[in-house]
């Protein structure tokens, strides 16, 4: 059964600060929750479902529901790293369609820039076989980039095009951490962090957060706010398959087709994309795996301003993305969702607003591309789509 149109996003809010030393994680969750509910014209008392991930302090929904004053009839704490919040959208759709709830709140908050604390999880069964070799996050993504270059002839200049596009967009975002446009040459000239990735191929590290509110069609009709219809959703897990991992493919090869099938559209129908940009290679592989070009052709696809809004062939991350604007809690899925909502509503900055943006795609990647990862894809459209 398709859940197309079973839920609408009516509220979205991104924390404006990138350094928040004077707030606790719980306080940031509360601030973004109130911001999204205010945007929707709703109150905490209207919320009957709450979604959060591993960034939420305490035992996720239990402690945070108490802190926020919620008495939800449905909760979900699915943990998929940066893909979590896009997973939550699909789960909220299903819960709303199943009459388990009618107003779902999803929140994210993080303080990696001003706090030494991080998200600690028990080691998986793989840790004993991998941890002794000292893998790092950037090292594993560099491994992916190196393999893509070997297989398909992708260049460092191709990867740099992703950073250039997001930097051109970030200059119009007053809240972006990095607002100065850069060139391909400047990306290549920045220090190598883990070959072949340069410093400017890597995302920023920020405090912050965000929240969205999903509601049933009935609730959406009662609100004086432009609703954004959730057209399709897909998610996928990719793991090492006992060592048979293909570094050039992500879980988007499964999550994307599932979302497109539910939405009843093709990649060619999409006007705008928000793709998790933890590293430039993350975007390039996702563009291929989501079907915007053939496998291996991502390097050629992103050249010559293809990702630059408003008139590139595939406008990308018009808020500046994780590469330039915001990467709260080292998790990028929520901010991708929020900017996609802005684009469909026509509320992005005028310099980067995609004309007549009817359909937007948001895609999140969680954990590590070099070993195991989570992918989640959400397709959004206007209320009449």
Which CATH number characterizes residue 12's domain?
3.40.47.10
Residues 234-269: pLDDT tens digits? 999 998 887 788 999 999 999 999 999 999 999 999
pTM higher than the cut 0.95? yes
Buried/exposed code over 118-147 (b: 16+ C-beta within 10 A; e: otherwise) = eeeeeeeeeeeeeeeeeeebbebbbbbbbb
- In terms of DSSP bridges, do strands 74-76 and 197-198 run parallel, antiparallel, or are they unpaired? unpaired
Do residue 164 and residue 296 come from a single domain? yes
For residues 142 and 194, the answer to whether their CB atoms sit within 8 Å is yes
Do residue 199 and residue 215 come from a single domain? no
Cβ neighbours, 10 Å, residue 181: 15
Residue 177 belongs to a domain: yes
Residues 132-189: pLDDT tens digits? 999 999 999 999 999 999 999 999 999 999 999 999 999 999 999 999 999 999 999 9
Residue 82 belongs to a domain: yes
User: Which residue in this structure is represented by tokens 């306080």?
Assistant: 27
Residue 120 belongs to a domain: no
Do residue 224 and residue 327 come from a single domain? no
CA angle, residues 382, 276, 1, in degrees to nearest 5? 50
Do residue 54 and residue 106 come from a single domain? yes
User: Which residue in this structure is represented by tokens 């950073």?
Assistant: 163
Do residue 82 and residue 143 come from a single domain? no
Do residue 25 and residue 109 come from a single domain? yes
Question: Band of the pLDDT at 129, cuts 50, 70, 90?
Answer: confident
Helices 280-289 and 137-152 cross at an angle (nearest 10°) of: 50
Do residue 310 and residue 215 come from a single domain? no
Tell me: pLDDT of 35 over 80.
yes
The pLDDT score that the predictor gives to residue 260 is 98
Residues 182-201: pLDDT tens digits? 999 999 999 999 999 999 99
For residues 349 and 173, the answer to whether their CB atoms sit within 8 Å is yes
Total structural domains within the chain: 2
For residues 64 and 26, the answer to whether their CB atoms sit within 8 Å is yes
Host domain of residue 286: 127-204+232-382
Q: Pull the structure tokens for residue 87.
A: 């997973």
3-class secondary-structure state, position 127: helix
Residues 60-106: pLDDT tens digits? 899 999 999 999 999 999 999 999 999 999 999 999 999 999 999 99
Cβ neighbours, 10 Å, residue 383: 15
Q: Which residues contact 70 (CB under 8 A, 6 or more apart)?
A: 44, 47, 50, 64, 105
């Amino acid at each position: 059964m398709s859940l197309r149109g079973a839920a609408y996003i009516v509220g979205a809010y991104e924390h404006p600060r990138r350094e928040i030393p004077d707030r606790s994680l719980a306080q940031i969750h509360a601030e973004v929750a109130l911001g999204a509910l205010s945007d929707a014209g709703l109150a905490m008392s209207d919320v009957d479902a709450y979604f959060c991930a591993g960034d939420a302090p305490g035992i996720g929904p239990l402690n945070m529901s108490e802190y926020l004053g919620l008495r939800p009839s449905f909760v979900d704490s699915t943990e998929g790293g940066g893909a979590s919040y896009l997973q939550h959208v699909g789960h909220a759709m299903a819960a709303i369609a199943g009459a388990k709830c009618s107003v779902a709140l999803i929140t994210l908050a993080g303080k990696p820039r001003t706090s030494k604390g991080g998200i600690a999880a028990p080691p998986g069964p793989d840790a004993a076989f991998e941890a002794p070799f000292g893998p790092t996050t950037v090292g594993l993504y560099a491994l992916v980039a190196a393999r893509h270059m070997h297989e398909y002839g992708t260049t460092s200049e191709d990867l740099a095009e992703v950073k250039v596009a997001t930097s051109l967009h970030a200059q119009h975002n007053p809240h972006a951490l990095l607002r100065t446009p850069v060139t391909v040459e400047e990306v290549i000239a920045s220090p190598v962090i883990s070959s072949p990735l340069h410093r400017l191929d890597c995302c920023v590290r920020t405090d912050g957060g965000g929240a969205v509110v999903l509601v049933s069609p009935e609730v959406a009709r009662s609100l004086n706010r432009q609703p954004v219809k959730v057209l399709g959703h897909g998610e996928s897990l990719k793991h090492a398959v006992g060592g048979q991992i293909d570094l050039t493919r992500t879980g988007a090869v499964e999550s994307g087709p599932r979302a497109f099938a539910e939405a009843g559209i093709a990649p060619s129908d999409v006007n705008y994309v928000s793709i998790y940009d933890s590293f430039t290679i993350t975007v390039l592989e996702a563009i291929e795996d989501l079907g915007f070009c053939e496998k291996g052709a991502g390097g050629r696809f992103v050249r010559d301003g293809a990702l630059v809004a408003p008139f590139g062939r595939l406008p990308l991350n018009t808020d500046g993305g994780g590469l330039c604007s915001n990467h709260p809690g080292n998790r990028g899925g929520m901010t991708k969702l929020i900017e996609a909502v802005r684009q469909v509503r026509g509320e992005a900055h005028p310099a980067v607003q995609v004309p007549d943006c009817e359909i937007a795609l948001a895609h999140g990647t969680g954990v590590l591309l070099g070993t195991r990862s989570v992918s989640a894809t959400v397709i959004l459209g206007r209320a009449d789509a």
